[in-house]
Amino acid sequence: MGLRLKRPSRVPRGEEYDLVIVGAGPAGLSAAIYAARFLLKTIVVTVDVGGQLNLTDWVDDYPGMGKVRASDLVASFKSHAEMFGVKIVDGVKVTDIQEEDGDWLRVKGTRGLDLRSRAVILAVGSERRKLGVPGEKEFAGRGVSYCSVCDAPFFKGKDAVAVVGGGDAAFEGAILLSGYVKKVYLIHRRRGFRAKPFYVEELKSKPNVEFVLDSVVKEIRGDDSVKSVVVVNKVTGEEREIKVDGVFIEIGFQPPKEWYQKLGLETDDAGYLKVDEWMRTNKPGIFAAGDATTLWKGFRQVVTAAAMGAVAAYSAYNYLVEKGLYKPRSRAPAEASAKS
């Protein structure tokens, strides 16, 4: 099979939009679909299409879809937005958003991105949290992974791996890994889990999984690649070195707090963007949706992200109407022909 290289998107410079959506996970793509339905001239600028769905294998709780591959769900969100004429620019990171005279926002990014928009929706998700222990950085990509779903197959036939965390991602990853390796250690800092009960039940039923609870990772050791992980029991103080070929760190996400603050956007202490019930940030014309926000923080789901995206687009539309900036565009050809 030949290797097909993806052609990079053309990066817009000097163009003007009603709405720029930053991020193309479920929140950003849902916002794009709704914005297009409000006939806003919309562009999505993103580092990658899919967001956290790229780190998941299957989705079985998105209404109407049954059990679907996450990659298929992403493809269908994307083609839905494109059907309505939304442009998606992939492989670009937005670095700056500044107010300009005349109710414009100037949006700049990597690869020379420079455009003006009347409104912006930030749907940028969140970055992976790090353990911050010796060995983590040194062995990243040499046994240390932050995505079980992406990297599990590379460990096929290995003796043992550790998965760190007690949420859905750690459990989903450990279940998957238990099919690839001889032994999986689930290391978690307390005895209770955030993961959904059915994940917990399923992992407990696996004969090759050992739970290492009330325990934290002190160090990751190895030579060319990971060879062991040192854990400390927080209750007894006991230290244990466990031989593993890999360490999967699945301990959640950390928002880019400093960047938000540089843009003048208010966050909570953890760095999530403060929004009201209409997904408005403290800055007029800037909205936010999905995992980047403070909303429904304990329940991050595809359906909740998509809901936030839809509300943010509605809110952006209302903002433009109230400001007298709304100039409806013509419908995309696919939509126009579907209506006629």
Other residues' Cβ atoms within 10 Å of the Cβ of residue 113: 21
One of 87, 240, 274, 300 touching ligand NAP (CB under 6 A):
300
Q: Which of 103, 114, 150, 214 is catalytic?
A: 150
Question: With respect to ligand NAP, which residue has the nearer C-beta, 45 or 170?
Answer: 170
Residue 262: both structure tokens together: 């540089």
Q: Is 191 in the site for ligand NAP (CB under 6 A)?
A: no
Question: With respect to ligand NAP, which residue has the nearer C-beta, 285 or 309?
Answer: 309
Active site residue 150: yes
Active site residue 147: yes
Active site residue 151: yes
The backbone region for 249, taken as left when phi is positive above 0, alpha when psi lies in -120 to 50, beta otherwise, is beta
Q: Which of 90, 114, 147, 214 is catalytic?
A: 147
Largest Cα–Cα distance of the chain, in whole Å? 72
Question: With respect to ligand NAP, which residue has the nearer C-beta, 34 or 62?
Answer: 62
One of 106, 190, 323, 327 touching ligand NAP (CB under 6 A):
190
Q: List Cα–Cα distances, 154 to 145, 159, 181, 237, in angstroms.
A: 11, 13, 10, 34
Q: Is 245 in the site for ligand NAP (CB under 6 A)?
A: no
Q: Is 40 in the site for ligand NAP (CB under 6 A)?
A: no
Task: Report the residue number whose CB is nearest to ligand NAP.
Answer: 167
Question: With respect to ligand NAP, which residue has the nearer C-beta, 169 or 174?
Answer: 169
* DSSP assignment letter at 53: G
* DSSP assignment letter at 328: P
| 57 vs 80: CA distance, rounded Å | 21
Site for ligand NAP in 137-176 (CB under 6 A): 165-170, 172
- Burial of 57 by CB count in 10 Å (0-12 exposed, 13-18 middle, 19+ buried)? middle
Active site residues: 147, 150-151
Q: Which residues bind ligand NAP (CB under 6 A)?
A: 56, 129, 131, 165-170, 172, 189-190, 194, 216, 250-252, 300
